[in-house]
Structure 1
Amino acid sequence: MKGKLMLECFSWTAASVVMFAAGIQIAFLSPLTVLAAPVPFLLFTCRAGIKASMPGALAGTFFVFFTMGEVSAFMYLCEFALLGLLAGFIMLRVKSGADYFLAAVAASVAVKLFLIGAFSYAAGFNPFMITPEAAESFISSVSGTLSHGGVSVSPESVKGYALNMVNTVSLLMPSMIILFAACDTAVGYLAARLYAKRDGSFSVPELPLFASWRFPKNIFWALLAALILDMASKAMPDDPLYKMLSMNMMEVLRGVFLIEGLSLAWYFMTAYRVNRAVRCLAVCFGLFFAPVSYVLSMVGVFDIWYDLRKRIKLRGK
């Protein structure tokens, strides 16, 4: 049994290292691998416990250190190994899905802040911050693609877009960290749910049905605070603190309202017996298509205040 556990630990560690290497070497895979970074050690920790997972995390870190260098090893240790161990430990300890999400998001934010602080102290830069050169290179590649289609973009416009991108990312860094932590927590939870259905060696804390998700009305106090900070930023434009706080609070609240709107849309689609695959496609469309996500966020605001599920009668329910 001990040999079988060691082999399983080696397999999950190898999967984690391969994911990390793929994200480093293949640019378009980086967002996917970073979102799924905690999954291998999350699943193995749920199966075997955190003590059995720690040797694999250390082995993976040492392997990355000797093959890719100390910077890559530190990033792997934080985002792939440590975050996976923490997520698995939390999943084994909590009893409800809501408690898991709150604790896991807090752990993910803490790990990312530690990573940023360590890099800022040792190397003087933020690993999550896009550089002006990288932004200009990205926009230049997009403009090159557009030029093949007959749309020309001047070099001055490219530099202006790059500068705006860097300024926006720097202002929205706190909300980006929170929302990204929520995304990798959701990916880890879904992966654990799917694996637990097949394996059955551990249980995943249950969440309420997505169609019944509702946020409390006291979230509007946060919205009021964000509006007050926005007015303060316009009254005192020389102080960037108010603008940064208001923008970040509004981005996080927009994410909350979007989830509320998606939950309401799922409720109606379920009531009218829409195919599950179609519902999933509609949710993905609502998440990534900006005009629809904006409308759903507004609908989410009304749903929190008026509880549209109770007020709208459904014939197909």
Structure 2
Amino acid sequence: MKIRSLLLTLTCSAALGLGTVSSASAKTIDVVASFTVLADVVKHVGGDHVNVTSLVPPNGDPHAFEPSPDDAKAVRSAAVTFISGEGLEEWFQRLVKASGASKPPVVVSTGIKTHTFEEDGKEITDPHVWNSVPNVLVWIDNIEEALAKADPEDAADFAANADRYAKTLKALDATIHAKIDAIPRDKRKVLTSHDAFGYYGEEYGVTFLAPLGMSTETEASAADVAELIDQIKKENIRVYFIENSNDPRLVKQIAAATNAKPGGELYPEALSTADGPVPSYEALMRYNTDQIVKAMTE
């Protein structure tokens, strides 16, 4: 009996030891993304091998974000930090300087064909690239490459995750095209708060008008607003949308002056909370498309 008990004890100890080794080998790395849309895409590529922190919270404005000391700590300790770039996160360089981080961020929009607008006499790059699904396919490639460099042991998993997610998004892109293509082109016009849907409009053939420019921090002049009201009346734009991450008052005033009707709330640059309507990038694109299609067909 004593020998049997000893063997049982040794067997259990060995099993526990193996469990400890297995757990220790399941390595994860801490990564930081600038805002929720990007954080979700990073999580899909990284899978169980990454702990992802989004600096800008759900429903937060990535243009006007004010980082905290905790954000600086997260950036300093991250294995990889991801930003979209193209002028979206103008606050990020200040955060990096405050954090003392030595690693430069990965700019996931590198390689995307961007477009520009003239705003206040200046040529400005539109940073809202993710509102076109093909652009996020570029993100996926850049994210996979950066994660593989940070964690070479799990590179095969990152590649598999990236391939699987890309297939999902390609199917989503086809669905969006089919829904929009079914609407007569002269009815594909809506009013939003700021110019966040340029890439969506370019990819899917929808015209978006907005009183504010690329950034929510810009202010529309009285002359700009008057000109926009005239254009809305002339083009018979019947629907307006508010956005989850910025002040809706101006667009509501313009809608009242033009008799445009509310089409609901869009999510151009921030996910909702987990229990909201757009907890993921895929859900964001589906939800925005359904809202836009419904408004243009009623």
Does the TM-score normalized on the shorter chain lie above 0.5?
no
* Higher RCO structure, 1 or 2 (CA under 8 Å, sep 6+): 2
TM-score interval w.r.t. the shorter chain? under 0.3
Between Structure 1 and Structure 2, the one with more strand by share is 2
- Normalising by structure 2, what TM-score? 0.26
Between Structure 1 and Structure 2, the one with more helix by share is 1
Larger radius of gyration between Structure 1 and Structure 2: 2
